[in-house]
């Protein structure tokens, strides 16, 4: 087995794939890249059992074969090479592969590729195609709101809802919720599944670099995302997603319109002076003035800011966890935002006023915190 490959092209593929590799694997074979050579095509695969991802790259070769190479060692080595052809030659006698570069030769052990987990083949999958830009935007807006609680695994992923009317993506950790909807995209049949956070985070980074369409195949247990020369297959989270619509307040007479950047900067500054245990900030609204304050009684730290705003409703005070607000404000790009509220002990709803595409709808919900007297 022998092939020649561009160092920069190989590096770009390895960097895309290595995100799947866990630092502590129960199966040693999962510490490796699987190389499958078929003449002029090299397929590289990684797996953590739950997620399998592969990418194909063109090489110069007349051979076929399968080997596994240590992922961290190979990636660290390839990172150091400037652009040049690298020649890989397998020595079956001592189970090593020789890498020849312009100024040297390097040997590393390889392992039996037959021990690597097989890629899952989806049985009777449904299919839909989404632009990589739209899918990347949907993941960007939602994945940060997914939870990390092992006791509630269904909330540790993003809920995909496909229907003939619209496509909806939802994430929540019970403290914050994001619902991203595209009414300009539809599927022939209704489908629902929960995607784990890790493969979505990997996809998010790759989708930002391509303009291709993404084919999504899915059944009751797995989903597969295919675009360019990349395929990612993952096991879905089993369980029923909570009824998120039930927690979204429908009557919100108090409406605050404010410049997003100014509000973000004020919340960021005030949060520095907030309690390190609650991260609480207080919003006080009256007329055209928004008062943002925070206090850490234990250390006598205090912040108080005023912003000009457009407020409709009764004068009110409400408390929020500043970290949740900052996450949401950082994931919006509009110039102005609308915050709708009913009473201080019910959730506030953030929506962008401008900057949305046709058919795009974004709703962010944040639960309040009890105000200190």
Domain boundaries, the chain: 2-115, 126-246, 248-369
CATH architecture, range 248-369: Roll (3.10)
Q: Would you state the pLDDT for residue 200? A: 97
Distance CA 122, CA 234 (A): 10
Distance CA 109, CA 95 (A): 6
Q: Would you state the pLDDT for residue 39? A: 82
The partner residues of 57 in beta bridges, in order of sequence, read 42
Distance CA 284, CA 126 (A): 49
**Intrachain domains 126-246 and 248-369 with the same fold:** yes
- In contact, 270 and 282? CB cutoff 8 Å: no
Which of 136, 186, 178 shows the shortest CA–CA distance to 161? 186
Structure tokens at 38: 């078929």
Which of 335, 330, 340, 344 shows the shortest CA–CA distance to 363? 340
Q: Would you state the pLDDT for residue 262? A: 97
Structure tokens at 82: 């400037």
CATH architecture, range 2-115: Roll (3.10)
Range list of H helices, the chain: 7-17, 71-79, 132-142, 197-207, 260-272, 322-330
Q: Is 336 helix (H, G, I), strand (E, B) or coil?
A: strand
Q: Would you state the pLDDT for residue 355? A: 86
* Digitized pLDDT (tens) for each residue of the chain, 373 residues in all: 999 999 999 999 999 999 999 988 889 999 999 999 998 999 999 999 999 999 999 999 999 999 999 999 999 999 999 999 999 999 988 999 999 999 899 999 999 999 999 888 999 999 999 999 999 999 999 999 999 988 899 999 999 999 999 999 999 999 999 999 999 999 988 999 999 999 999 999 999 888 999 999 999 999 999 999 999 999 999 999 999 999 999 999 999 999 999 999 999 999 999 999 999 999 999 989 999 999 998 899 999 999 999 999 999 999 999 999 999 999 999 999 999 999 999 999 999 999 888 999 999 999 999 886 5
pTM: 0.92
Superfamily of domain 126-246: DNA Polymerase III, subunit A, domain 2 (3.10.150.10)
Query: How many Cα atoms are found within 13 Å in the side-chain-facing hemisphere of 364?
Result: 25
């Amino acid at each position: 087995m022998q092939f020649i490959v561009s160092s920069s092209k190989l590096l770009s593929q390895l960097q895309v794939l290595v995100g799947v590799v866990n630092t502590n694997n129960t199966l040693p074979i999962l510490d490796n890249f699987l190389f499958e050579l078929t003449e002029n095509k090299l397929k590289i695969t990684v797996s953590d059992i739950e997620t399998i991802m592969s990418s194909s790259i063109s090489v110069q070769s007349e051979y076929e074969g399968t080997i596994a190479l240590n992922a961290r060692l190979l990636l660290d080595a390839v990172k150091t090479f400037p652009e040049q052809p690298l020649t890989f030659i397998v020595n079956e006698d001592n189970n090593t592969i020789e890498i020849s570069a312009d100024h040297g030769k390097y040997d590393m052990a390889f392992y039996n590729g037959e021990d690597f987990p097989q890629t899952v083949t989806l049985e009777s999958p449904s299919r839909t195609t989404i632009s990589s830009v739209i899918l990347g935007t949907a993941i960007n807006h939602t994945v940060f709101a997914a939870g990390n609680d092992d006791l509630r695994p269904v909330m540790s992923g993003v809920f995909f809802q496909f229907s003939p009317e619209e496509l909806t993506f939802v994430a929540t950790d019970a403290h914050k919720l994001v619902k991203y909807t595209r009414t300009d995209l539809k599927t022939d049949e209704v489908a629902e599944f929960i995607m784990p956070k890790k493969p979505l985070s990997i996809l998010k980074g790759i989708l930002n670099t391509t303009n291709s369409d993404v084919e999504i195949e899915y059944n009751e247990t797995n989903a597969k995302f295919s675009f360019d020369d990349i395929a990612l297959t993952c096991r879905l989270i089993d369980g029923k997603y909570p009824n998120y619509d039930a927690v979204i307040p429908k009557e919100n007479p108090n409406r605050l319109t404010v410049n997003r950047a100014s509000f973000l900067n004020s919340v960021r500054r005030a949060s520095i002076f907030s309690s390190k245990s609650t991260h609480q900030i207080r919003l006080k609204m009256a007329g055209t003035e928004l008062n943002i304050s925070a206090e850490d009684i234990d250390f006598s730290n205090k912040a108080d800011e005023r912003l000009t705003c457009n407020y409709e409703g009764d004068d009110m005070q409400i408390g929020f966890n500043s970290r949740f607000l900052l996450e949401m404000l950082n994931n919006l790009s509009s110039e102005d935002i609308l915050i709708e509220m009913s009473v201080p002990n019910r959730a506030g709803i953030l929506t962008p006023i401008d900057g949305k595409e046709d058919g795009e709808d974004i709703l962010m919900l944040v639960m309040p915190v009890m105000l200190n007297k």
